[in-house]
Amino acid sequence: MTTHLLTINQQLKSHKIRRILLIEDNDVNRMLLSDYLSYCGYDVQSLSKGSAFFSTIERFQPELMLLDLKLPDIDGYSLLEQIQKKPGFSKIPIIVVSAFAFKADQERAMNLGARHYFVKPVNLNNLIITIEEEFTERYV
């Protein structure tokens, strides 16, 4: 599996650098995901709260977002609802990475515009493959 991840990493580094916004309140999870995505060649901006979410989107202009649903200052579902009301932002693919494992949580997030849903602890290999599929689909 390590060899497979290294192969994926080499392929990613040959592509255009893509911007990913990571919204995760857990410091360890945020650091690990951010470091891993950076290692894979992505330009990552991370937030621990939803309060700076929209100003960060405008400034950073992410091409994809990873969103935790349980944040200290705002519900992730509320962010998904607000994103769908903003035409420019609603086109950005959102991948939910959450500890909420119930099917109802997944269905609610997908109904609010999430493209994919991963339950923590996330398989990094599957996450990277999904991210790359989103970029390939979006830019082909």
CATH number of the domain where residue 129 is located: 3.40.50.2300
Which amino acid, one-letter code, is at 9? N
DSSP label of 44: E
Structure confidence at residue 50 (pLDDT): 87
Q: How many domains does the chain have?
A: 1
- Both tokens of residue 15? 């592509």
Q: Which domain holds residue 21?
A: 2-139
Regions of the chain where pLDDT drops below 70: 1-15, 138-140
> At 11, which helix (H) or strand (E)?
helix 2-13
Structure confidence at residue 8 (pLDDT): 54
Mean pLDDT, all residues of the chain: 89
Structure confidence at residue 44 (pLDDT): 98
Q: How many residues does the chain have?
A: 140
